Amino acid sequence: MTSNSGRGLQPNVLGTFDTIVMAVAGSAPAYSLAATTAVLTGAVGLASPAALLYCAIPMFGIVLAFSRLGRIDVNAGASYSWVGRTLHPFLGFLSGWALVVSATIFMVAGSLPAGAMTLALVDPSLADNTVLATAVGACWFLVMLLVVLGGARLTVRAQLLMSGVELALLLLFLLGALLHNGAAHAFDWSWLGFGHFDGASGFASGALIAAFYYWGWDVTSNLSEETRNSRRTAGLAALVGVGVVFLLFEAFTIAVNIILTSEQIQAGSGNVLGVLGDAIWPGVGGKLLIVAVMLSTVATLETTLIQVTRSLFAMGRDRTMPAALGAVHRRWNTPWVAIAVVGAVALAMFAAATALGSVGVIISDAVSAISLQIAVYYGLAGIAAVVAYRKMLLTSVANFLLGGVWPLLGAVFMFWTFFASLGELSRAAVAIGLGGLAAGLVPMIWYWRRGSAYYRPAKLDAVRAIEVETPYPDSVSGRRTDAMATDF
């Protein structure tokens, strides 16, 4: 492989529809429902639809924050750049590091279900074999690694195929759920209220898990340097994507409450959709939804790989991590060194995962740990948006509500769930979540002391950025070029 560290990512590869597909795939509706419904039901019972609803409201505030920040700073690092230029470079680095760690952990948490679902299509009894599931999941991971290495065009083509089939199957089974006779519970509007939560801490633990459902839509921001008219497209795609998955999440969790008993949900563990499919369409339904989950899992592995490798690329480009991570392949215009590093680390984690217990236990702890890190970088981005647009908040009601109140509400909610849920999570989940964040202090201090220019940023101010939109400097070579779309 040949590379040139002075090259940027390839601009104008993705259009609006492509980016919306990436946002939906990033949140992985089928995977999130299959892997996390049992965890969410175990935490809040019949209040699963309520947890998803009340997490969606502040989550849209974070989507608005990302959208507004993306208008004034197009950067593959997204919150890593925005938080560093508005709040403090240390917080910016930890924001980017939280994404890198959570995405790396997800390589295992996402690949295991992909392996288990593939085995379930052959023989359902094999799906609980952790070693086999890990091996097959690792194969899927390597396939997606090669697709992401092949460039944004190849990535989005694969995504269109996988997500298209997944969404078609989900809509088919939603129709089947409407026509289904027999129910474990009659629908009750209280499922959308607060009555089923076990106090504030119970609500917080449910909301933290619900945040994991939505996580991944922000891949549109990490792809901004490769998107046409990204100042508008990335934010719009994220809003549409979160709206689509919110409707799917609500519809399916209500269907699960109606059709399945709590015993069936817990017995289904990481394959709740398969159990639901068998109940709706005995014999064939379970296998079809397993296909949907498998495609969704593989699709979200792809988008997560994009997030972590683009974030590492931005860090390498800014010399806050080894500069080699900022190298771009001469032919494919992808950060090939970052992709290779993530692949090596993930494969080592696959080997370690085989000793950690069952697939269900690994997924449960990983979801909780990832959710803690998500809350950190989403919350910081919400505050960063308010700070960046502070001079414009009182110029109109829309700016005040959409640029101030809602993003701030989202940030406060994320930090509240982070702290309120710590006492409810397992020791392993807290250790992985907080330990992963703490590990970022080492490279942060090391590269700060080496004088990285990232730690001396030009402050991000919305008024100034909107008034003056000039070509962006190539932060590696020093040339001015529209191909490297970064304000840094």
Is residue 389, in this structure, part of any structural domain at all?
A: yes
Q: What angle do helix axes 152-179 and 285-317 make, rounded to 10 degrees?
A: 150
What's the rounded Cα separation, in Å, for the pair 388 and 462? 5
Helix (H) or strand (E) run with residue 3 in it = strand 3-4
Is residue 150, in this structure, part of any structural domain at all?
A: yes
Confidence of residue 415 (pLDDT cuts 50, 70, 90): very high
Share of the chain above pLDDT 90, in %: 43
What's the rounded Cα separation, in Å, for the pair 485 and 468? 15
Cα dihedral 235/81/420/202 (nearest 10) = 30
Cβ atoms of 116 and 488 closer than 8 Å = no
Is residue 203, in this structure, part of any structural domain at all?
A: yes
Helix (H) or strand (E) run with residue 393 in it = none
Report CA 365 to chain centroid distance, whole Å: 17
Q: Where are the alpha helices (DSSP H) in 269-358?
A: 272-280, 285-317, 336-353
Domain encompassing residue 130: 12-467
Query: Six-digit token pair at 222?
Result: 């990490």
Q: Which of 60-64, 199-203, 340-344 shows the lowest mean pLDDT across its residues?
A: 199-203
Choose from 119-128, 156-165, 189-198, 343-352 the range with maximum mean pLDDT.
Answer: 156-165
Statement: residue 483 has pLDDT above 70: no
Taking residues 381-391, what's their average pLDDT?
Answer: 95
Backbone angles phi, psi at 3, to 5 degrees: -145, 165
Is residue 472, in this structure, part of any structural domain at all?
A: no
- Helix and strand tally (H, E) in the chain? 20, 2
The 10 Å CB-count burial string (b at 16+, else e) for 28-53 is bbbbbbbbbbbbbbbbbbbbbbbbbb
What's the rounded Cα separation, in Å, for the pair 352 and 106? 14
The 3 state secondary structure assigned to 415-426 is HHHHHHHHHHCC
Is residue 120, in this structure, part of any structural domain at all?
A: yes
Residue whose pair of structure tokens reads 């607060």 in the numeric block: 194
Total structural domains within the chain: 1
The candidate with the shortest Cα–Cα distance to 180, out of 37, 287, 286, 279, is 279
Confidence of residue 355 (pLDDT cuts 50, 70, 90): low
Q: Which amino acid is at 264?
A: Q
Q: What is the pLDDT of residues 278-332, one digit of tens each?
A: 888 887 887 888 888 888 888 888 899 999 999 999 999 999 999 999 989 888 8
What's the rounded Cα separation, in Å, for the pair 129 and 109? 15
Q: pTM for this one?
A: 0.86
Q: Is the Cα dihedral 239, 244, 249, 251 positive or negative?
A: positive
Is residue 217, in this structure, part of any structural domain at all?
A: yes
Cβ atoms of 321 and 315 closer than 8 Å = yes
Cβ atoms of 80 and 218 closer than 8 Å = no
Where residue 216 falls (left for φ over 0; alpha for ψ -120 to 50; beta otherwise) is left
Is residue 484, in this structure, part of any structural domain at all?
A: no
Q: What is the CATH number of the domain that holds 210?
A: 1.20.1740.10
Is residue 477, in this structure, part of any structural domain at all?
A: no
Confidence of residue 363 (pLDDT cuts 50, 70, 90): low
Taking residues 191-203, what's their average pLDDT?
Answer: 79
Q: What is the pLDDT of residues 38-54, one digit of tens each?
A: 888 887 888 889 999 99
What's the rounded Cα separation, in Å, for the pair 94 and 415? 15
Report CA 274 to chain centroid distance, whole Å: 23
**In this predicted structure, what is the pLDDT of residue 268?**
67
Cβ atoms of 155 and 306 closer than 8 Å = yes
